[in-house]
């Protein structure tokens, strides 16, 4: 399932100043009047957007449950402004934080896919530093890719790719999900080092449920195990999907994601 996002069903938030300003498209579903549960916040992966299958299904769960939901497109993605090649983890994190603070829910559950899992972990750190931030009540991380630039890309660069980074400031890689190649910039890789989370204990302060396919060709399942080692203070559930790929977008995968989210929401009511 996917949906077309028109000019009539999204809002725009300007993030950044001067030459760094970009228009971020976001969508908000208001919670039911009689529901005090947390808002569900969707965080997309690299080159993905808020019209993707998992984002749409999460929003549908919010509608069915009377919960609020928030989803948005990073700059250079979907219908947001800005150039994709200007994107960095810091830049996309800034946009995620800006949207959440603008909508201002009281409580949130973050649901991040692939790179969105990295953004979610960094958001947990940033939200904890702010008095005006909502309370983080749980996280569902789907094939999370924290530190992917330094752990999953840099060590495997070919001589040709390293030369392209040096000479052009980027290199291209064939994508299995799009006819257009993936582009990784020097700025993204360098900024990734500054946003590393796999360098010590990560304290999210909330329950975390990780869903990881064991046939994931992009993020090996050992990466999820490494992440768990960095979350010793949290209540962490790691679910391996033996035949699951990176996207985890099959009906049975979507059901696992929604059940994980419902489990976190219900645990807060108990």
Between the CA of residue 228 and those of 9, 45, 232, 238, what are the distances in Å? 38, 20, 7, 8
User: pTM of whole model > 0.85?
Assistant: yes
Helix, coil or strand: residue 156? helix
- Centre a 10 Å sphere on the Cβ of residue 68 and count the other Cβ atoms it contains: 22
| Cα 140 from Cα 111, distance rounded (Å) | 5
| Per-residue buried b or exposed e for 119-137, using 16+ beta carbons within 10 Å of the residue's own CB | bbbbbbeebeeeeebbebb
CA–CA gap between residue 3 and residue 113 (Å, rounded) = 18
Per-position pLDDT tens, the chain of length 270: 445 555 458 999 999 999 999 999 999 999 999 999 999 999 999 999 999 999 999 999 999 999 999 999 999 999 999 999 999 999 999 999 999 999 999 999 999 999 999 999 999 999 999 999 999 999 999 999 999 999 999 999 999 999 999 999 999 998 888 888 999 999 999 999 999 999 999 999 999 999 999 999 999 999 999 999 999 989 999 999 999 999 999 999 999 999 999 999 987 665
Beta strands 236-241; 208-213: pairing state: parallel
Distance, in Å, from the CA atom of 222 to the CA atom of 29, rounded to the nearest integer, reads 36
Tens digit of pLDDT for each residue in 235-251? 999 999 999 999 999 99
Class of domain 11-146+201-269: alpha beta
Whole-angstrom CA distances from 119 to 33, 70, 85, 125 are: 30, 15, 18, 10
Q: How far apart are the first and last CA of the chain?
A: 32
* pLDDT tens digits, one per residue of 215-231: 999 999 999 999 999 99
Residue 1 is predicted with a pLDDT of 42
95 backbone dihedrals φ, ψ, rounded to 5°: -70, -40
| pLDDT given for residue 179 in this prediction | 87
Res 62: pLDDT: 98
What is residue 270's predicted lDDT score, i.e. its pLDDT? 55
């Amino acid at each position: 399932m996917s949906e077309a996002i028109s000019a009539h069903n999204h809002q725009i938030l300007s993030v950044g100043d001067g030459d760094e300003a970009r228009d971020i498209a976001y969508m908000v579903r208001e919670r039911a009047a009689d529901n005090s549960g947390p808002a569900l916040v969707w965080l997309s992966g690299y080159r993905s957007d808020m019209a993707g299958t998992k984002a749409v299904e999460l929003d549908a769960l919010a509608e069915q449950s009377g919960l609020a939901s928030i989803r948005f497109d990073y700059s250079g993605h979907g219908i947001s402004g800005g150039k994709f090649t200007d994107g960095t983890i810091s830049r996309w994190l800034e946009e995620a934080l800006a949207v959440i603070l603008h909508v201002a829910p009281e409580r949130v559950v973050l649901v991040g896919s692939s790179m969105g899992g990295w953004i979610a972990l960094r958001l947990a750190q940033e939200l904890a530093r702010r008095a005006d931030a909502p309370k983080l009540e749980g996280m569902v991380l789907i094939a999370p890719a924290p530190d992917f630039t330094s752990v999953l890309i840099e060590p495997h660069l070919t001589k040709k790719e390293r030369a392209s980074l040096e000479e052009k400031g980027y290199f291209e890689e064939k994508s299995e999900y799009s006819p257009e190649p993936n582009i990784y910039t020097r700025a993204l890789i360098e900024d990734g080092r500054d946003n590393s989370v796999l360098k010590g204990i990560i304290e999210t302060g909330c329950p975390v449920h990780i869903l990881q396919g064991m046939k994931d060709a992009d993020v090996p399942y050992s990466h999820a195990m490494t992440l768990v080692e960095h979350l010793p203070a949290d209540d962490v559930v790691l679910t391996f999907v033996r035949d699951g790929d990176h996207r985890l977008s099959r009906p049975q995968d979507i059901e696992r994601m929604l059940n994980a989210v419902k489990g976190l929401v219900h645990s807060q009511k108990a």
